[in-house]
Structure 1
Amino acid sequence: MIDTRLHIEALPGCGAVVRNVDLTQTGDGEIDQIRQALFDHGMLVFRGQSLTPEQHIALAERIAPIDVNRFFPADPAYPVIAKVEKTAEQTTNIGGGWHTDHSYDREPAMGSILVARDLPPSGGDTLFADLYAAWATLPDDLRAKVRDLRAVHASDHVFGETGAYAGTDRKELAKGGVETPETVHPVVIRHPGSGKPVLYVNPGFTMRFEGMTREESLPLLMKLFAHAIDQSRVYTLRWEPGDVAMWDNRATWHFAKNDYHGHYRLMHRITLGGCALEAA
């Protein structure tokens, strides 16, 4: 008899690796287990997979509704797949700083499924930080200061006409004319899938606390950011051919290392739709 039970093993710092699974042959029960494990651990790694683009899409549709990213270039043959690509000639990568995707949206994307397509000979790791643990270990004085706050998130400073990408060799990501209004979320949310409290701010898109200027907000934000990326709460994913990673934007941050200049890297990403977030 074939053993169809999933083996889920926690990784150091953040996330879990899921073994004994072929993502092209999963039943509904396994999909439910994977979805709940994603909510509970924040990030999942599946080694040794061989997903075609069609299978990647089919898997995503079983986890959650697909939310097409409006900033990243799409694969011409598969519009719901974003190409996270860096050529050998380019110097700027995508996602090269700590952030969580789509926090600038009123209903932030639940997460993403990333498939390794073409890897450099070395480098190109992705770091993940555990924001469940960040809140659980936050000192009491900081908890008291932020528990009832709300924070303003935005994207124009990154993806706007004069944003961070505009002056780089990735200016195709500077989507001038795309409406990206500021959005407000609780600083501490109750995760809709696990029920656990999560620290929900990030260096990439959190601008300030509601009712405060950015200058007034930065000292406290910087303390939260530094706490979240303590190495005890970070896992480094060293990609191998065939790897698939899923992450939950509500429970993690990620950071794509840009240490493979002169080499090509292509990842396929599908974004998963989410919901409005409530305070813990």
Structure 2
Amino acid sequence: MDDSGQWIGPASHLASERERLSGLSFDHFDLRPVGVSLGAEISGLRLESKHSGEVIDEIRQALCSFKVLIFRDQPVTAEQHVSFARCFGELEKHPFIPSNTQHPELVRFEKSAEVAGYENQWHHDVTWRESPSMGAILHAIEVPEVGGDTLFCDMHAAYMGLNEDLRNEIDGLFAIHDYMRAFGHQVEQTEAAEMRQKFPEVIHPVVRTHPETQQRCLFLNRIFTREIIDLEPEKSAALIHRLTAESAYPEYQLRVKWEPDTLVFWDNRSVQHYASSDYWPLTRIMERASIVGDRPT
């Protein structure tokens, strides 16, 4: 532990999870782990095809275990993308980000010299919703030769890496999340009251329990988390800074290099992500389907 309270040395708490994941196998596809505590590449499935409930159940099981699933060489249409995502639940429509004109369930990220990327901050998606996304499926349509990777962080591993005193301090704390922190500049003054009624501030636990695995995960971020309830402003800001800094550890991360027609399915309940904005002025076009989740507890 250094003077700031950050650990140094081996992240020994990852060993048991690495061993557990290495022993998993699935009947309907091949899976290769690509990270220590998160990340696996799946082969042997064509996502443009319809799949049985048994296959979908196994994909869900793999998602809960590995948190990030990578599918290469999947030339799905927008309609097939939506159809596959709907196998896992109802899909969201994002009120602030442009969508595919034919399929409003697909958020479209089209970045180039004219429109720069700005998603390069660690976050869970839409924590300003009462029920944030369960997960998201992102399809690479056009990617730069270099750059534009997406990084993912295992927030269960981050939580378990905290010292026991800090875990005890934050268990039972709640934080306010607000869409205005990121999207407020897009809201016209004449629409502000209506949008606030649609999307009021929400309160989520600082540490949530994953509803399927029961793993405890840090669940706050610098984009949408405004403050921790019942703490003085300075203490709240310091604690948010301290906890969100955990995502910076490479030991907890997976870095995905995109290729055209790669799909990545991540568990938004247990994973944060960061879109590297290092490819300007090159073009990067992605489409994302997000699956409605549950209220964090």
Q: 1:136 aligns with which of 151, 160, 179?
A: 160
Q: Distance in 2 between matches of 1:229 and 1:42?
A: 18
Q: What SS does structure 1 have at the residue aligned with 2:104?
A: strand
2:72 aligned with 1:47: yes
Q: Aligned match of 1:18 in 39, 42, 46?
A: 42
- Alpha-carbon distance, 1:258 to partner: 0.8
Conserved 8 A contact 1:109-1:274: yes
Query: TM-score when scaled to structure 2?
Result: 0.84
Q: Which protein has the bigger helix share?
A: 2
Offset at residue 149 of structure 1 (A): 0.7
For residues 158 and 213 of structure 1, the distance between their equivalents in structure 2, rounded to whole angstroms, comes to 23
AA partner of residue 68 (structure 2): M
Shift of 1:4: 6.3
Match in the other structure for 1:171: none
2:260 is the alignment partner of 1:250: no
Distance of 2:99 and 2:247 partners within structure 1: 31
SS, match of residue 160 in structure 1: helix
Q: Which secondary structure does the structure 1 equivalent of 2:105 belong to?
A: strand
- Equivalent residue number for residue 149 of structure 1: 173
The counterpart of 1:6, out of the listed 7, 19, 29, is: 29
Asked if 1:203 corresponds to 2:252, the answer is no
Counterpart for residue 3 of structure 2: none
Partners of 2:107 and 2:238 lie apart in 1 by: 35
Partner of 1:111: 135
Q: Percent identity?
A: 33
Paired with 2:35 and 2:256, the residues of 1 have a C-alpha distance of 11
What is the SS of the residue equivalent to 1:78? coil
Match of 2:95 in 1: 70
CA distance in 1, matches of 2:158, 2:129: 22
**Superposed, which structure 2 residues align to 1:94-243 within 5 Å?**
94-161=118-185, 174-176=186-188, 177=191, 178-179=195-196, 180-243=199-262
Query: 1:28-47, aligned counterparts within 5 Å?
Result: 28-47=53-72
Write the deviation string for residues 36-67 of structure 1: whole angstroms up to 9, x where unpaired: 22122221111111111111010011111111
Structure 1 segments of 4 or more deviating over 4 A? Answer: none
- Match of residue 169 from structure 1: none
Any conservation in 1 of the 2:119–2:277 contact (CA below 8 Å)?
Answer: no
**How far apart in 1 are the matches of 2:118 and 2:83?**
25
AA matched with 1:235: L
* 1:177-197 Cα distance to aligned partner (Å, 9 max, x none): 332321111111111122221
Structure 2: where are the runs of 5+ without partners?
Answer: 1-25
1:261 is displaced (CA, Å) by 1.0
Letter in 2 for 1:72: I
Alpha-carbon displacement from aligned partner over 1:68-93 (angstroms, at most 9, x marks no partner): 11111011121211111112223x31
State the SS of the aligned residue for 1:255.
strand
Q: What letter matches 1:155 in structure 2?
A: Y
Q: TM-score, normalised by structure 1?
A: 0.89
